Amino acid sequence: AVIETSLYDNLMDKETLRSLSSLHPLRKLGQLEDILSWVQHLAGNGSRFVTGQTLLVDGGITAGSHSA
The DSSP symbol for 56 reads -
pLDDT for residue 68 = 46
Which portions of the chain are predicted below pLDDT 50? Answer: 67-68
The DSSP symbol for 43 reads H
Quote the distance between the C-alpha of residue 52 and its chain's center: 21
Q: Quote the pTM value.
A: 0.69
Q: What is the DSSP string of 7-40?
A: HHHHHS-HHHHHHHHHHSTTSS-EEHHHHHHHHH
